[in-house]
Amino acid sequence: MAQIGSFALLLALALSIYSFGVGLLALFFPGDPLWERLGETARRAGVVVFGGVFLAAVALVVAAFRNDFTIAYIFHHSNRDLPGRYKFATLWSGQEGSLLFWSLLLAGYGFVLRLRYKTDPRLFAYASVVLAGVQIFFLSLVNFAANPFGLLEGPLRADGSGLNPLLQYPEMVIHPPMLYLGYVGFTVPFAFALGALIMKYPGEKWIHITRRWTMVTWGFLTCGIFLGAHWAYAVLGWGGYWGWDPVENASLMPWLVGTAFLHSVMMQEKRGMLKVWNMWLVFFTFWLAIWGTFLTRSGMIASVHAFAQSAIGTWFAWFLGISFAAFLFFFIKNKDHLKSEHKLESLISRESSFLFNNLLFVLLCFTVAWGTWFPKISELVQGNKVTVGAPFYNRVAIPVALLLLILTAVGPLLAWRKTSFESLRRNFAWPTLGAAAVMAFLMITPPSWGGPFGLRPWQDISYFYSLMAIGLCVLVTLTIASEFYRGGKVISGHTGQGMFASLVQLTHRNTRRYGGYLVHFGVVVVIIGLAGAAFNQDKESEKGMDYGDKMTIGSYTLVCRSYTQDDGPNMASEWAVIDVYQGDKKIDTMNPVREFYKASQQASTKPDIRSSLKEDLYLVYEGQNEKGLPIIRAHLNPLVMWIWLGVIIILGGTALALIPNAPAPVRIAVPARRMEQAVPAVTGD
């Protein structure tokens, strides 16, 4: 397997170089039949790269299933008794494998791109060459710097070291692929953008072509980030889902800039504006995705994820530098091509709301980047490492998130170009009144009602934030509902259909817009879930829990029924059996567990979580005290399930936005008199 894998990777690298070199030369000689044909061979070489990398990936997975411990990577990341799904996950559980996986996904995206070239062959040829350039980098890495097929030196070992226990969790089989599909996918919009910039592509068609790629990629990244958050919540046992860890931040940064791009790209499509800004956004989304990989793989930044420390950081640094220089060169050379067709006409317009939204996303990204790199910068400058914790990020992220929520509510209701006061009054009166009423209700209710009631914003800044978050969530929900209602009413008036059928038709007529609204609604639901963290409670049985011992948290009484141990081939485990009562009624039995993995000689804690829409009861087996009694830590986390529900809504909205629109039912014509008056604005072909 090692021979086949190594060969396949070399073949893929050679074909990428061919695809890049010959493809580039073919673009230099447009119209020459020989070079046109060679350009076609370059495209086909790019297609075959996928075959090569796929073969290598299959070889690695087969080696894992065959327990081929002659391969160092398999020895370090698998063992004989590892369950099958984690053997499969070996492909991305270590540095070399995950870089191979990166290359595989990149080749996969390239494969689809190169097969769909007939949409616009010349633009696709440029994008293919850019993509081949990125492929050369990653395939060079896996061939020369981090080869997953390197053989183990010394005598053959009977068993492997095993997979990191934290990764032995079902979600880890899908979290990294989702995240990587997101990271890698941003290469495609970048390839099209750079291609369009180099060839001075006339018009915005390239954006239409890449829109689906960008949205799919964004969807994968969103899914990957939240799966990671859920994994942290369900496996790490600290009771939270987001800790502003550098590796988490690494995935957040391209997501933030990518989200900004998804919004501002509409300005370019609709109004031919923000071309320069969009070009930089798409570049930075790609660049930050690579930077994130660099961050996780180089070991430069301390992280709880601490995947690897190796010399490949230098490779990444060079690639980041070269890609930046190449982009800057073409940008400076061709920036005249990116002149806006229109100017901002009013500060109260859809355009300006997109502009502010973009600035906020970029500000947030800059804050996260600063917080992530500050410890390293301070170490370099002052010699001592300064830790940047959650308070730093929250200080900026919470107000910015609230401002973004305002824009989420306001943006869709503003007209393109300019919005009059009368329009504002029509669109905002009822949603604003509704939100204000909810906020007033929350302020005047007594705190004894529990949860978010009795929020007195003048008492504590966290109350102010919670109140604003809830009020703005109501505002966004009402504006979205009013958009659906008004649209549905128009269709219902025209067709005589019922409201539900009209709403379906409305959504089908503009999937992008209404899918977008659904995404916004999902964000609202996520924010409600995040706001629940302000009311978290936790308790710990410091003395341990013997049979029959009780602990109370919130409305729950926990009674220890027993504690026991088990021994399996892959791991040994010990757990407690806890009966959960509400009042006198037993409602559940929970089993927090601690596992000890034999191959890697590492322990892991797996909490047990009882989830409901209202709150999560989260129990952790902390270990045993000196008397051998289990120490149980209990957390009560309100509204956490809303976060995961919100993500499902976001992904549903993204999928909806990807469905093609139904044909427009109304033909549009320009009056003849305007045609007669019109003077060609631009002359020359």
Partner 1 sequence: MSFELACCLLATLAALFYIFFPGTFSVGRVKTRASYLRERKDVVYENLRDLNFEFKAGKMPESDYQSLKSSLQDEAATLLAEIARLETKADGPRKARS
Q: Which residues bind partner 1 (CB under 8 A)?
A: 1, 3-4, 7-8, 11, 15, 36-37, 39-41, 44-45, 47-48, 51-52, 55, 118, 120-122, 201-205, 269-270, 272, 413, 415-420, 422-423, 426-427, 486-487, 489-490, 510, 664, 666, 668, 670-671, 674-675, 677-682, 685
What is the token pair recorded at 587? 């409602």
- Residues 6+ positions from 328 with CB-CB distance below 8 Å: none
Which amino acid, residue 348?
Answer: I
Q: Name the residue nearer to partner 1 (CB basis): 207 or 531.
A: 207
CA–CA separation, 279 and 260 (whole Å): 12
Q: What is the DSSP letter of 335?
A: G
Q: Name the residue nearer to partner 1 (CB basis): 270 or 610.
A: 270
Cα Rg for the chain, rounded, in angstroms?
28
CA angle (373, 379, 384) in 5-degree steps: 130
Report, in this order, helix, strand and coil percent for the chain, each rounded to 5. 65, 10, 25
Min CB(612)–partner 1 separation in Å: 38
What contacts 24+ positions apart, CB below 8 Å, involve 261-268? 261/189, 261/214, 261/285, 262/214, 262/215, 262/218, 263/354, 263/357, 263/358, 263/361, 264/354, 264/355, 264/357, 264/358, 265/207, 265/211, 265/214, 266/354, 267/351, 267/354, 267/355, 268/204, 268/207
CA angle (231, 236, 241) in 5-degree steps: 55
Min CB(675)–partner 1 separation in Å: 5
Min CB(185)–partner 1 separation in Å: 25
Min CB(21)–partner 1 separation in Å: 13
- Residues 6+ positions from 421 with CB-CB distance below 8 Å: none
CA angle (179, 184, 188) in 5-degree steps: 135
Min CB(667)–partner 1 separation in Å: 9
Q: Are 60 and 149 in contact (CB under 8 A)?
A: yes
Min CB(3)–partner 1 separation in Å: 4
CA–CA separation, 222 and 185 (whole Å): 12
Q: Name the residue nearer to partner 1 (CB basis): 52 or 522.
A: 52
Of 227, 213, 223, the closest CA to residue 286 belongs to 213
Min CB(95)–partner 1 separation in Å: 25
Q: Name the residue nearer to partner 1 (CB basis): 44 or 539.
A: 44
Min CB(133)–partner 1 separation in Å: 19
Of 627, 403, 653, 368, the closest CA to residue 525 belongs to 653
Min CB(331)–partner 1 separation in Å: 21
CA–CA separation, 296 and 173 (whole Å): 18
Q: Name the residue nearer to partner 1 (CB basis): 92 or 201.
A: 201
Q: Name the residue nearer to partner 1 (CB basis): 108 or 652.
A: 108
Q: Name the residue nearer to partner 1 (CB basis): 58 or 317.
A: 58
Of 565, 603, 568, the closest CA to residue 81 belongs to 568
Q: Name the residue nearer to partner 1 (CB basis): 346 or 445.
A: 346
Q: Name the residue nearer to partner 1 (CB basis): 156 or 682.
A: 682
Cα-Cα-Cα-Cα dihedral sign, residues 41, 47, 51, 56: positive
CA–CA separation, 659 and 214 (whole Å): 14
- Residues 6+ positions from 399 with CB-CB distance below 8 Å: none
Min CB(197)–partner 1 separation in Å: 15
CA angle (672, 673, 678) in 5-degree steps: 100
Q: Name the residue nearer to partner 1 (CB basis): 11 or 551.
A: 11
Q: Name the residue nearer to partner 1 (CB basis): 113 or 650.
A: 113
Min CB(282)–partner 1 separation in Å: 19
Min CB(85)–partner 1 separation in Å: 27
Min CB(149)–partner 1 separation in Å: 12
Q: Name the residue nearer to partner 1 (CB basis): 417 or 543.
A: 417
Q: Name the residue nearer to partner 1 (CB basis): 42 or 262.
A: 42
Min CB(344)–partner 1 separation in Å: 14
H or E element that contains 656: helix 640-658
Min CB(395)–partner 1 separation in Å: 37
Q: What is the DSSP letter of 411?
A: G
CA–CA separation, 171 and 173 (whole Å): 5
Q: Name the residue nearer to partner 1 (CB basis): 334 or 510.
A: 510
Distance of CA 323 to the CA centre of its chain: 22
CA–CA separation, 271 and 84 (whole Å): 52
CA–CA separation, 684 and 119 (whole Å): 26
Q: Name the residue nearer to partner 1 (CB basis): 37 or 395.
A: 37
Min CB(257)–partner 1 separation in Å: 25
| Strands ordered across the beta sheet of 537-540 | 537-540, 630-638, 615-624, 608-611
Q: Name the residue nearer to partner 1 (CB basis): 121 or 457.
A: 121
H or E element that contains 605: strand 602-606
Q: Name the residue nearer to partner 1 (CB basis): 8 or 281.
A: 8
Question: Can you spell out the DSSP letters for 459-527?
Answer: T-HHHHHHHHHHHHHHHHHHHHHHHHHHHHHHHHHHH---HHHHHHHHHHHTHHHHHHHHHHHHHHHHH
Min CB(465)–partner 1 separation in Å: 31
579: β partners: 559, 589
